[in-house]
Structure 1
């Protein structure tokens, strides 16, 4: 199987000219720093699109070819084209200037061609101006913009020029409606009235409105002030996606894996200093420790942009259960679970994004480790608390299985169960079966597989899938606790496929995109160090524990994420990830990215990694941008404008591939994504039998390289009569209601409300809602 050559506009002699240029290896440097081969065909097509005279277009392109040199910039090429075109057709020159040279960094985090009609339409929509007035103002603005010697405009800049023209025309009433308060008045009104669907974990309320307004200002601050223009361009054009731009400046650290022992030994200062809040001594009772656990995660969430997690939690808490009855232990844990699900106080009135990784028993590597109990006292080793460890895990699982007072699932914490060789020997079968009852009922439990060869003693997960493993230094505490994923940048893999003609092109683009990611991540790490050490705005993370800062930034991961590997392979080979030959090339690409991460580790001494991007919004954003840029060449999932790319290196959700084959394909990528991964087992209604799921777990753990997975089963809940139903039901079978039926399913990592059966709007963006509909469920 070979790479296919992309077909395009047929022009006499184009093939020969392209061949000569390719042999000469003439590359063009784009504004975002990415270099690509000069394309005679692409340049000619851009002139055809603005209706330039055909004969003159060929002469203009020939003039450009005469002036080519390796490394010429797109700005230089566009200047030649515009000047040549201006001499023969000023109207076409204006169109070329607007479409290709004057680019707008829009408020939608993308780069768009300038379009005078958009100014007119926003004036009509936002101010109620007449069509005639709107187009007159837009024409005046266009005349002003042509005079500016700038290549990039911003939406705020254009808006200010529009406002100036409105004042000049005596239209003050329209100007007051069109003005900008950090973000346009119209956008704030829309937020208040309609909310936002970028984050499925947020509800529409005053705090989320405040968050989105602040987010917009901080995103622009990051793009205009913290990042050089070529990185901002790369993000907005969709070559890469820089995650959490709204947190780049003040909360640049992503996920955090806590060590509860630090607070057992030394007590709790939720502000990190004790200067502004009450200070708690080391806890004496289990109930106090449960309260502290919730407060730790809530306090740290104020300093972090991503998820909070605790691993080995039930082992470390076990000494506090000594001498307590099962009911007392369960009651204490129930208090924690409800607190984590009811603390609407994080990042725009969300509950803290929390995960809890539990052990079925005390792992062998912990048996001889010193155990700390009430008042921070040494109470032996953790081997002494095997029974209590098991009791806490069982109580936690039972509480989740019971749901809340109405029978709905507790959506947090994401509860993760660690599978070890000793877990699967039969001694823990009763506890395992209970966990699989939870999977069958709500689909909310996750499993970590410690059996594959690429594992060490410890692997812990945070949020949707980000992961730490003890393969960095070999020290499980340093590698896995009090650190996390600092940040990741996602590469647009399908776009590489659309632009590449051979294998060398693919790896050149990968190099270019990874260069952009590395530069971005190093800037973000510098900002993280400043926030920790110089700006004093992350006091919880900066507090001292055992002579060092609580958050070990030196051990945090800087990660390459990626999206749409399947669509990249389709663009290159006409075959996706399910095809063995195409899949081999996908593996080769991931090995190449891992090699870069390894080289960076040796070069910088920092912890570089590769992960499967959760891509809750990125898969939709990349697909939308590529549809605009590449048209029919773009290979998209979904339809009716609700397009998306397949997540990371997953098999498409609507594939009719056998379950075992899906495991085999995706398992190959888990060892190549040490920074985080997940396998989604979208299960149908026949998999509601816990014993069947438990049998499947044994097979996945023992016979595959899958490192992390969840059984995701869609279900519905009737708010009217509190009936839980399997599948996405349009009507409650008990009371006949449809308007009050909620849908639930796993989004990219965690179970969340999709919306109501009547509207299915929920908090999911259009691409994610379409993906939900497309998901094929596995049956027995």
Structure 2
């Protein structure tokens, strides 16, 4: 719940009358703001000033926005009833739309929808919409919803005898028109999904489950906060039934006990402990695919090559590589995850056996104890080499394997001469495809273990100090993103900025508490997550008590630019930015003490959130909003990154962003956007060594923009409009890292593809470097 003492402490004096907004946040009452809104509505200056003055005489500290709107409407009716109606439509008649937004009621939208969706004439549409408006004015509700309006429209269509139009305009979970559009054109909300029957099925179900979460699970003020863009609740469609996000698996348990992909073995075949490397490769893929059915986020395995190593003992390298190849192809070809996706997978690899694992019991074929992992250092090394070589070869067409996200752990011993050849291969992979990721274990804030899931969410042995409990069989439960620029737009000084920041965090806390409670219901009461709740070694497989609940954030750069006049590249602004993120960490630390739960801070991937926040703020704060991109394709800078088009070199970029990695233990990434010239792998390796030895960057990738001709199967560097070999222009596919993982952008000559408009604009804005 929101901390009442914090709210009471923030209540201003009588001289600073505050308005309580629908989301629970207090805002200073402004005579000038009210006058301006009335002028924008078309009122004269005389009317605007008089109405605002009359309202000001009646307000009191803590008055709600609903009460103010009633006062304004009543005052306007005395002067101009038509103007009062316009005010009612614009301010009191607010609509919760199916796009997860709160919008002003607009009769013209009903008219346009009737023409477009039902095929009504403009005259009929205008008459029906006018009738609907007269009915809606009679309702005394805080918010209208799109389904509610649609039902009133359908009632009016029936009253007018327009049954044919009513059938076309009706709603089946989502409007008929929307389903038709999905079937014919698809959606671009998720860059990892193609257009096919399963994606249509997923989007229709998602819409119903999103509305269920907003209307049934979340209090209305928290739903409002999400839809208005104060915060972003990720994976709303999974809130009710798959509330858990990312998971880091422990492969050893399945090596010892076998595999039940349904969690019980009652509905599928049961596999015993694997006897051969090939069987283990199949099981490893099935584990992540099965778990993906229970979760909303990425599936990962750490120490993968170390735990697999006993199965490679005595085998020729060719057989080891063939088994690894089978595993990688299976992960990229298992089109069975939700919405006909491949499972979103990550593999964390070591170059050898870390010192802390050398004396740990090792398990091999049939689940038998076969010594300690230190006995299998050479096999672990060969598995990593084989993994890298298979990725370097690409698929049969020469495209990069997009999964698993392959993450290489750099330790102090890795940088010694023994692993020079392996490091060289990994940097060839980074140079060719840009799909490799790196973990820096040399940084001072590191312990023995850290792992990453998906595109940046992270765990480390800093919770209980036990690397197994902190890093395996758990993950990120959920995260909520704070709209940092909006915090700045509402604040007059530093004190107010931190007050508003606390109120946004309070909202995120309450959402995360509700989500955790829902997860426990799904695990324990509803028996809805059988794979995660299966019992292994006498306890539930998924350790929810060690899962992180995280505060994400977007647009730190724009917050600084508005509040201080300069962005994150300015040293003074950067220091204030660090204060902001430190403050979020302090709140997380307080919550750890208060609840005993694992609260954390991360850099939000913001695949769609950065665009959504920017577009909403452009609408609600048109004069204040500091935006990247262009009209219709605005976006905010991701988390605490420098703007993608910033005129800074790679060294400056590292120095700016490295300070935020220790402050975002829940996940972070540094992106080096590479140019069209193919980088020298040795130069990349040199940069890796410098990053590890001289910076606090914890996780990074060298990102290549690539183009692939679907006609002649030619892979090219850079974003090319046509194929350099055959001249094809229509079927050239673009690839790049969206926020944390490499994926298809879309076609060079088409706006279709997986990325939203803001992300597509960011792609074009990226300033690239040659190394």
TM-score (norm. length: structure 2): 0.98
Aligned partner of 2:487 among 481, 496, 500: 496
Aligned to 1:287: 278
What is the rounded CA distance, in whole Å, between the counterparts of 1:562 and 1:220 in structure 2? 24
Aligned to 1:54: 45
Aligned to 2:344: 353
SS of alignment partner, residue 264 of structure 1: helix
Aligned to 2:238: 247
Cα displacement string for residues 76-110 of structure 1 (whole angstroms, at most 9, x for unaligned residues): 11111111111111111111111111100001100
Aligned to 2:306: 315
What is the rounded CA distance, in whole Å, between the counterparts of 1:402 and 1:313 in structure 2? 21
Cα displacement string for residues 556-598 of structure 1 (whole angstroms, at most 9, x for unaligned residues): 0000000011111111122100011111111000000000000
Aligned to 1:77: 68
Describe how 1:109-188 pairs up with structure 2 within 5 A: 109-188=100-179
What is the rounded CA distance, in whole Å, between the counterparts of 1:225 and 1:485 in structure 2? 24
Q: Verify: 1:466 aligned to 2:437, yes or no.
A: no
Q: Verify: 1:409 aligned to 2:366, yes or no.
A: no
Aligned to 1:14: none
Deviation at 1:406, TM superposition (A): 1.1
What is the rounded CA distance, in whole Å, between the counterparts of 1:590 and 1:556 in structure 2? 21
Deviation at 1:22, TM superposition (A): 7.5
Q: Verify: 1:737 aligned to 2:728, yes or no.
A: yes
What is the rounded CA distance, in whole Å, between the counterparts of 2:417 and 2:674 in structure 1? 25
SS of alignment partner, residue 444 of structure 2: coil
What is the rounded CA distance, in whole Å, between the counterparts of 2:475 and 2:468 in structure 1? 12
What is the rounded CA distance, in whole Å, between the counterparts of 1:593 and 1:432 in structure 2? 37
Aligned to 1:457: 448
Describe how 1:203-214 pairs up with structure 2 within 5 A: 203-214=194-205
Q: Verify: 1:582 aligned to 2:568, yes or no.
A: no
Q: Verify: 1:624 aligned to 2:630, yes or no.
A: no
Cα displacement string for residues 137-181 of structure 1 (whole angstroms, at most 9, x for unaligned residues): 111111111101112000000000000000000011100000000
Aligned to 1:4: none
Deviation at 1:23, TM superposition (A): 7.2
What is the rounded CA distance, in whole Å, between the counterparts of 1:459 and 1:540 in structure 2? 24
Aligned to 2:209: 218
Q: Verify: 1:518 aligned to 2:478, yes or no.
A: no
Aligned to 1:363: 354
SS of alignment partner, residue 417 of structure 1: strand
Conserved 8 A contact 1:254-1:307 = yes
SS of alignment partner, residue 337 of structure 2: coil
Aligned partner of 1:598 among 589, 592, 611: 589
Deviant stretches of 4+, over 6 Å: none
Conserved 8 A contact 1:743-1:760 = no
What is the rounded CA distance, in whole Å, between the counterparts of 1:364 and 1:39 in structure 2? 63
Describe how 1:293-442 pairs up with structure 2 within 5 A: 293-442=284-433
What is the rounded CA distance, in whole Å, between the counterparts of 1:771 and 1:627 in structure 2? 17
Aligned to 2:6: none
Describe how 1:685-724 pairs up with structure 2 within 5 A: 685-724=676-715
SS of alignment partner, residue 280 of structure 1: coil
What is the rounded CA distance, in whole Å, between the counterparts of 1:56 and 1:349 in structure 2? 58
What is the rounded CA distance, in whole Å, between the counterparts of 2:45 and 2:350 in structure 1? 70
What is the rounded CA distance, in whole Å, between the counterparts of 2:54 and 2:471 in structure 1? 59
What is the rounded CA distance, in whole Å, between the counterparts of 2:705 and 2:400 in structure 1? 12
Cα displacement string for residues 516-563 of structure 1 (whole angstroms, at most 9, x for unaligned residues): 100000000000000000000100000011111100001000000000
Deviation at 1:33, TM superposition (A): 1.0
Aligned to 2:745: 754
Query: Unpaired segments of 5 or more residues in structure 1?
Result: 1-20
Aligned partner of 1:768 among 750, 759, 767: 759
What is the rounded CA distance, in whole Å, between the counterparts of 2:751 and 2:273 in structure 1? 47
Q: Which moved more, 1:751-760 or 1:133-142?
A: 751-760
What is the rounded CA distance, in whole Å, between the counterparts of 2:379 and 2:751 in structure 1? 43
SS of alignment partner, residue 324 of structure 1: coil
Q: Verify: 1:675 aligned to 2:666, yes or no.
A: yes
Aligned to 2:719: 728
Conserved 8 A contact 1:754-1:760 = no
Aligned to 2:4: none
Cα displacement string for residues 193-212 of structure 1 (whole angstroms, at most 9, x for unaligned residues): 00000000000000000000
SS of alignment partner, residue 257 of structure 1: strand
Q: Which moved more, 1:705-714 or 1:25-34?
A: 25-34
Conserved 8 A contact 2:679-2:770 = no
Deviation at 1:758, TM superposition (A): 1.9
Conserved 8 A contact 1:27-1:38 = yes
SS of alignment partner, residue 549 of structure 2: strand
CA RMSD of aligned residues (A): 1.0
Aligned partner of 2:181 among 187, 190, 194: 190
What is the rounded CA distance, in whole Å, between the counterparts of 2:462 and 2:554 in structure 1? 25
Deviation at 1:312, TM superposition (A): 0.3
Deviation at 1:755, TM superposition (A): 1.5
What is the rounded CA distance, in whole Å, between the counterparts of 2:203 and 2:527 in structure 1? 24
Aligned to 1:570: 561
Deviation at 1:120, TM superposition (A): 0.6
What is the rounded CA distance, in whole Å, between the counterparts of 1:151 and 1:183 in structure 2? 22
Q: Which moved more, 1:746-755 or 1:42-51?
A: 42-51
What is the rounded CA distance, in whole Å, between the counterparts of 2:52 and 2:240 in structure 1? 44
What is the rounded CA distance, in whole Å, between the counterparts of 1:55 and 1:731 in structure 2? 61
What is the rounded CA distance, in whole Å, between the counterparts of 1:632 and 1:399 in structure 2? 52
Q: Verify: 1:93 aligned to 2:93, yes or no.
A: no
Q: Verify: 1:269 aligned to 2:260, yes or no.
A: yes
Query: Unpaired segments of 5 or more residues in structure 2?
Result: 1-11
Deviation at 1:687, TM superposition (A): 4.8
SS of alignment partner, residue 623 of structure 2: helix
Aligned to 2:3: none
Aligned partner of 2:26 among 1, 16, 35: 35
Aligned to 1:538: 529
SS of alignment partner, residue 356 of structure 1: strand
What is the rounded CA distance, in whole Å, between the counterparts of 2:153 and 2:435 in structure 1? 51
Cα displacement string for residues 586-615 of structure 1 (whole angstroms, at most 9, x for unaligned residues): 100000000000000000000000000000
Deviation at 1:760, TM superposition (A): 5.0
Deviation at 1:633, TM superposition (A): 2.1
What is the rounded CA distance, in whole Å, between the counterparts of 2:690 and 2:228 in structure 1? 43
Q: Which moved more, 1:151-160 or 1:749-758?
A: 749-758
What is the rounded CA distance, in whole Å, between the counterparts of 1:760 and 1:106 in structure 2? 25
Q: Verify: 1:106 aligned to 2:115, yes or no.
A: no
Conserved 8 A contact 2:407-2:437 = yes
What is the rounded CA distance, in whole Å, between the counterparts of 1:719 and 1:90 in structure 2? 62
Q: May I ask how many residue pairs the two structures share in their alignment?
A: 760
Conserved 8 A contact 1:52-1:89 = no
What is the rounded CA distance, in whole Å, between the counterparts of 2:79 and 2:367 in structure 1? 83
Cα displacement string for residues 629-664 of structure 1 (whole angstroms, at most 9, x for unaligned residues): 111321111114211110000000011111101001
Conserved 8 A contact 2:678-2:717 = no
